[in-house]
Structure 1
Amino acid sequence: MVKGRIDMNKTASSTKDFTATQNACKLCSPLGAALVFKGIRGAVPLLHGSQGCSTYIRRYLISHFKEPMDIACSNFAEETAIFGGGANLKIALENIRRQYAPAVIGVATTCLSETIGDDVPMFLREYRAMFPGEELPPVIHVSTPSYQGTHMDGFHGAVLETVAALTANPPAAGKSRINLFPGMVSPEDLRHLKEILGDAGIPATVLPDYSKTLDGGLWTEYQRIPEGGTEVADIRRSGTAAASLEFGRILAEEKKTAGTFLEKEFNVPCRRLGLPIGIRETDRFFDALTAVTGQATPEKYIEERGRLTDALVDGHKIVNLKRAVVYGEEDLVAGVVSFLAEIGILPVLCASGGKSGRLEKVIAGIFPDYAEKGIQVMDNADFVDIESAAQSLAPDLIIGHSKGYTMARRLKVPLVRIGFPVHDRVGGARILHLGYRGALQLFDRITNTLIERQQDESAVGYTYM
């Protein structure tokens, strides 16, 4: 952080300290909401605010996923900021409807529209009244002012509002399906989760599912709305599911989520798990699937678990007692730290831009003696603060997304890239974090990163372990 002095009354005797954020370890709330809407089949995200917000979010998502990204905008200008954006929003909705024929429109409000107090629900009612008797696509509104939250707040808020909007009157159905709310994971993670459910013969509604929309094949011509995504019909019947599984130790402390909404409104039991990273949390995921459905864990994944444990034995001498800095979304940090505890790496600094205040409690659940071990926990963190703390902790590696690259470069510590965003490498969308398979890949990357550093720092190098 950069500390300075501000003179409130133009006198030297009445100054106050202030802190300015230079490089926050988080992204804006509407980005998370837009990502959710990209994971619903036929949906178009619409930002109610200035064009710069949608341009920034499109550019950020494109850089990570390497896919085209249509995000509509109500295009605020000076006059709109003064007199309100109702007219702009209605025009934007009608343009989207006419040009895209969407199944759903997801409206996320930006800081500007939130600050001036635009009554978006009223605008949406007025828009519907303009077309009496005409069938309009569902419009889902989520409030996402970035000054009150991070991209994760926008993400989980959009999932909640989607479920609340589309399952108001669920059709009758048998309770054979489950709902899976995996959180903000990679397309490769989503594909792996669906593979697990398919192998176990468990029908499920995964929300959101951008495994194809944001990591698809090569097109012969441009698609305004890419194929893929969670079916609207499946979301509508999520209130009839046998159970909901919701990933996130930090999220589990929230009083209202998609899972708790369905539990309260439709008596769908909700099981809340940590992100299944590593052996312990993946075991819990498979145990939960068995408890809910009665289906035993397929032999394929028992074998994957065996390969993972064998690999941990093989590489234990390389990773044991190493020190790591971990940063990113709170739930991802918690999942990675849980895995590091299994393989003998000490996470000397666990940092996130999240502001829930729960990260320390979760880390304490993994390392009850974390204070004695010298583990520092930072939330609402800036990379200036993270780097300052890391300088005295002598880490052997850093684990996080690309926004920490310049810090890692200055500290001369290797960076293992995970999560979002990964802007300085290809394949960010194809990083697998979850399951035994994801843990095995992460372990190999961590172990090889440590080996490469030893080789690079060696005076003579070596070609055999």
Structure 2
Amino acid sequence: MDTSIIDKEKAFTSTRNACKVCTPLGGSIVFKGIEGCVPLIHGSQGCATYIRRYLISHYKEPVDIASTNFTEETAIFGGEKNLFIAIDNVTKQYKPKIIGIATTCLSEVIGDDMRKIIHKYKTEHAQDSTIPELVFVNTPSFMGTHINGFHDTVLSLVKAFATKDNSTQNINIFPGFLSPADLQLLKEIFEDVGIKGIMTPDYSDILDNEYTGEYEKLPKGGTTLKELQQTANSKASIEFGYILNKSNPQSKSAAEFLETTFDVPRINLNIPMGINATDAFFNALEKLSNSKTPEKYTKQRGKLIDAYVDGHKYVFGKKAVVYGEEDFVVAMISFLEEIGIETVLCASGGDSGLLKTVIEEKINPRTEILIHDNFDFEEIATVCKELKPDILIGNSKGYYIARELGIPLARVGFPIHDRLGGARIKHIGYEGTQQLFDLIANTLIQEMQDHSPVGYKYM
């Protein structure tokens, strides 16, 4: 296609509709996945309110996010006093095991020294046994995305608590930003293959909870403090994703930190979407467990292949635009390559600069793809008008593009704000891939059916 229109659009230096979310939001999701942890946003009330509202809309669960409630005075004189008051209030109201503190643009710009401030608080309360563990992560939204905040927070937790004592032989699993249903599926797989896994974070129950009729300030579930401590003693770490938090070249992932600090071997895999990526995941599990993949999963694999055959003629040769988090986009393209859908554009709001390199080296697609990171939705919309794709694949924020162009949207990833069940979407493993394939194939079939002059009822 003529890429001049893209170059013209890039003359705009402002972001008009971001294809990403703020950094402390990613950190808050991780903190929610830790047992007994309350996220505390060190900044204005608006930041915490925005994050609460955004997460509640997707997960349809209560999400408490505390705030240090900056005012004009705080912005001038610093946030230490506010942070101390907030920690006291959260401790009194929730009695948490951990308070996870995430900074914001404002607290970063004024230069609050979080390490020094928290050390001062701990020193002043050294004799108080009710004070929870305090962990902080730097998450200014003028740098990175919610994915950077997510991975940096996982790293901060592991750095804070991992302790070497040679007492266990678990397997660490760092799944990245997946749905609660995906995390539950991973736990089921680990149990079936006989591996004791330490998943960080684990919000599978907390952000997809049962109805009990009572409000729980601290929902049950999550990665325990003891499990975080034992990550240093694990047999290996499995980490999904190639880009992770690499927009900052100096950053390490949690698995990289454990490998360099405690000699825990790191197994780096693509997010297991599709048969090839899921095969690689189960092959790793076979080596770690010294056992064959359970028949349950070989049957799932066989049924998935059968579904590929059944639906091939409905998906092959269709053109797709994929958008979302960088590692999610990489994994989705790998899956689409398997089923014969041609990705014509992949876009992300991430700014690592690695998206194109990773796709070309790890996925090696058969046809040329337009690959753009640091993209916003207005740029995606402009390119879509030129490319005329058959389907959009991504979160619900792209719906207005699909509506304007009259093409279907397969809703996956995060956020899903205009449908129920965002927390229950499975993306990974043979089971999740089966659901993805059915979703995409049926979305394309419905589009053909809705625009048929015949109004047929059989395929």
TM-score range, shorter chain: over 0.9
Q: How does 1:176-195 map to 2 (within 5 A)?
A: 177-195=170-188
5+ unaligned residues in a row in structure 1: which ranges? 5-16
CA distance in 2: counterparts of 1:366 and 1:138, whole angstroms: 40
Aligned 8 A contact 1:111 1:146 in 2 = yes
Q: How does 1:224-373 map to 2 (within 5 A)?
A: 224-251=217-244, 256-365=252-361, 368=364, 373=367
CA distance in 2: counterparts of 1:359 and 1:323, whole angstroms: 20
Tell me what 1:114 maps to: 108
Residue 285 to residue 2, structure 1, CA distance change in 2 (3 Å): closer
Aligned 8 A contact 2:194 2:289 in 1 = no
Tell me what 1:67 maps to: 61
Q: Which moved more, 1:397-406 or 1:214-223?
A: 214-223
Whether 1:137 aligns to 2:132 is yes
Give the secondary structure class of the aligned counterpart of 1:147: coil
Tell me what 2:206 maps to: 213
Give the secondary structure class of the aligned counterpart of 2:102: strand
Residue 119 to residue 221, structure 1, CA distance change in 2 (3 Å): same
Q: 1:38 aligns with which of 7, 32, 40?
A: 32
CA distance in 2: counterparts of 1:459 and 1:369, whole angstroms: 36
Aligned 8 A contact 2:152 2:245 in 1 = no
Give the secondary structure class of the aligned counterpart of 1:148: coil
Tell me what 1:11 maps to: none
Q: Which moved more, 1:55-64 or 1:255-264?
A: 255-264
Tell me what 2:18 maps to: 24
* Count of residues in Structure 1 that have an aligned counterpart in Structure 2: 449
Tell me what 2:369 maps to: 375
Whether 1:149 aligns to 2:181 is no
CA distance in 2: counterparts of 1:252 and 1:156, whole angstroms: 6
Tell me what 1:398 maps to: 392
**Residue-by-residue CA offset, 1:341-387 (whole Å, 9 max, x unaligned):** 000000100000000111111221356466xx341001001101001
Aligned 8 A contact 2:148 2:244 in 1 = no
Paired residue type of 1:218: Y
Paired residue type of 2:379: D
Stretches of 4+ aligned residues off by more than 4 angstroms: 1-4, 252-255
Residue 374 to residue 273, structure 1, CA distance change in 2 (3 Å): closer
Residue 2 to residue 109, structure 1, CA distance change in 2 (3 Å): farther
CA distance in 2: counterparts of 1:410 and 1:213, whole angstroms: 36
Give the secondary structure class of the aligned counterpart of 2:142: helix
Tell me what 1:105 maps to: 99
Give the secondary structure class of the aligned counterpart of 1:459: coil
CA distance in 1: counterparts of 2:309 and 2:167, whole angstroms: 47
Offset at 1:174? 3.0
Aligned 8 A contact 2:392 2:409 in 1 = yes
Offset at 1:94? 1.0
Paired residue type of 2:383: A
Residue 104 to residue 337, structure 1, CA distance change in 2 (3 Å): same
CA distance in 2: counterparts of 1:245 and 1:59, whole angstroms: 32
Q: TM-score, structure 2 length as denominator?
A: 0.95
Tell me what 1:456 maps to: 450
Q: Equivalent pairs: percent with the same residue?
A: 53
5+ unaligned residues in a row in structure 2: which ranges? none
Aligned 8 A contact 2:151 2:245 in 1 = no
Offset at 1:293? 2.4
CA distance in 2: counterparts of 1:51 and 1:114, whole angstroms: 15
Whether 1:419 aligns to 2:413 is yes
Offset at 1:289? 1.0
CA distance in 1: counterparts of 2:12 and 2:418, whole angstroms: 33
Aligned 8 A contact 1:275 1:434 in 2 = yes
Give the secondary structure class of the aligned counterpart of 2:51: helix
**Residue-by-residue CA offset, 1:288-340 (whole Å, 9 max, x unaligned):** 11122213211100000000000001110110000000000001111110000
